[in-house]
């Protein structure tokens, strides 16, 4: 015996329901921001910077965050809507679960990479000098080690407030082991020996140690 009962009517979604309005607003905002960033030559430069790993990773994270949060907002509003259907709501939850999985992976990888990047911070060990008292024109031996930073790493050794000329390169392992001459016109008294180091990213660090410059000092 055939069932002649009429099939249940499918509820049509009005083009102006809150869910549709929110979804279109989020989508329109994203397209507007992307278009403004791409076309704005002063502030955008999105296409030109996509080759930068850090910028591209941040942009992808941002887009997935907006998409995931937007989908969650749409689902919340749809769940409270009187026109809600269980099938459509379940499909929405499946999509949100997929986005959450991908977004969680991206965020975990992003912050994991940031934690690894801490190891690349440019550092210089405390100085070790051959003597703590010299006379103008005499030689002093400076030893330290630089670690981290982006190659090439350069260094310079100066006295007092002199401007360093960063043209020397550390030896293997980052060792800085060099004889430097105290300037002949160096004033007597306490003066700082400074080892200034920078890397390819123009990060600059330094270590300093105070020595005594004495008249007529002999080793």
Decide which of 119, 140, 155 is a domain's last residue.
Answer: 119
Does residue 108 sit in the same domain as residue 45?
yes
Q: What is the mean pLDDT of the chain?
A: 77
Q: What is the tally of structural domains in the chain?
A: 2
91 inside domain: yes
Does residue 54 sit in the same domain as residue 94?
yes
State residue 87's pLDDT score: 79
Dist. CA 65–CA 47, nearest whole Å: 20
Does residue 177 sit in the same domain as residue 102?
no
Does residue 156 sit in the same domain as residue 95?
no
Please determine, for residue 22, whether its predicted confidence score (pLDDT) is greater than 80: no
123-154 pLDDT, tens digit per residue, is: 899 988 988 888 998 999 999 999 888 888 99
22 inside domain: yes
95-123 pLDDT, tens digit per residue, is: 778 777 777 777 776 665 554 444 578 88
Ramachandran region, residue 11 (left: φ > 0; alpha: ψ -120 to 50; beta: rest): beta
206 inside domain: yes
Decide which of 60, 92, 119 is a domain's last residue.
Answer: 119
Does residue 151 sit in the same domain as residue 179?
yes
Please determine, for residue 155, whether its predicted confidence score (pLDDT) is greater than 60: yes
22: Cβ contacts below 8 Å, ≥ 6 apart: 70, 73, 74, 77
Does residue 134 sit in the same domain as residue 97?
no
Q: How many CA atoms lie within 13 A of 168 on its CB side?
A: 20
Stronger pLDDT, 92 or 10, i.e. the higher one? 92
Does residue 49 sit in the same domain as residue 82?
yes
Q: Domain limits at 27? A: 18-119
The enclosing H or E element of 100 equals: helix 86-117
Dist. CA 60–CA 52, nearest whole Å: 12
3 inside domain: no
- Which among 178, 121, 129 is positioned nearest to 155, based on CA atoms? 178
178-211 pLDDT, tens digit per residue, is: 999 988 888 889 999 999 999 888 889 999 889 8
- Which among 207, 211, 120 is positioned nearest to 164, based on CA atoms? 207
Does residue 169 sit in the same domain as residue 146?
yes
State residue 7's pLDDT score: 53
Please determine, for residue 66, whether its predicted confidence score (pLDDT) is greater than 50: yes
Q: Across residues 2-7, what is the average pLDDT?
A: 54
Residue 15: φ, ψ to 5°: -65, -5
Does residue 96 sit in the same domain as residue 155?
no
CA separation, residue 145 to residues 127, 173, 176, 211, 215 (Å): 8, 8, 5, 19, 31
């Amino acid at each position: 015996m055939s069932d002649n009962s009429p099939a249940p009517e499918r509820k049509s979604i009005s083009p102006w329901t809150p869910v549709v309005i929110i979804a279109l607003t989020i989508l329109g905002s994203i397209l507007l921001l992307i278009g403004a960033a791409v076309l704005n030559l002063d502030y955008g430069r999105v296409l030109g910077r996509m080759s930068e790993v850090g910028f591209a990773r941040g942009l992808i994270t941002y887009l997935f965050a907006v998409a995931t949060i937007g989908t969650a907002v749409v689902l919340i509003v749809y769940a409270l809507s009187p026109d809600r259907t269980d099938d459509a709501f379940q499909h929405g939850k499946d999509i949100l679960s997929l986005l959450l999985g991908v977004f969680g992976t991206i965020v975990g990888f992003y912050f994991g990479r940031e934690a690894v990047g801490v190891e690349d911070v440019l550092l210089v060990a405390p100085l070790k000098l051959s003597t703590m008292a010299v006379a103008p024109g005499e030689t002093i031996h400076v030893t330290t080690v630089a670690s981290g930073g982006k190659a090439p790493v350069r260094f310079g050794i100066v006295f007092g407030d002199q401007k360093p000329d960063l043209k020397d390169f550390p030896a293997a392992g980052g060792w800085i082991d060099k004889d430097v001459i105290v300037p002949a016109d160096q004033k007597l008294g306490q003066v700082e020996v400074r080892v200034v180091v920078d890397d390819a990213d123009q990060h600059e660090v330094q270590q300093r140690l105070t020595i005594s410059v004495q008249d007529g000092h002999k080793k």
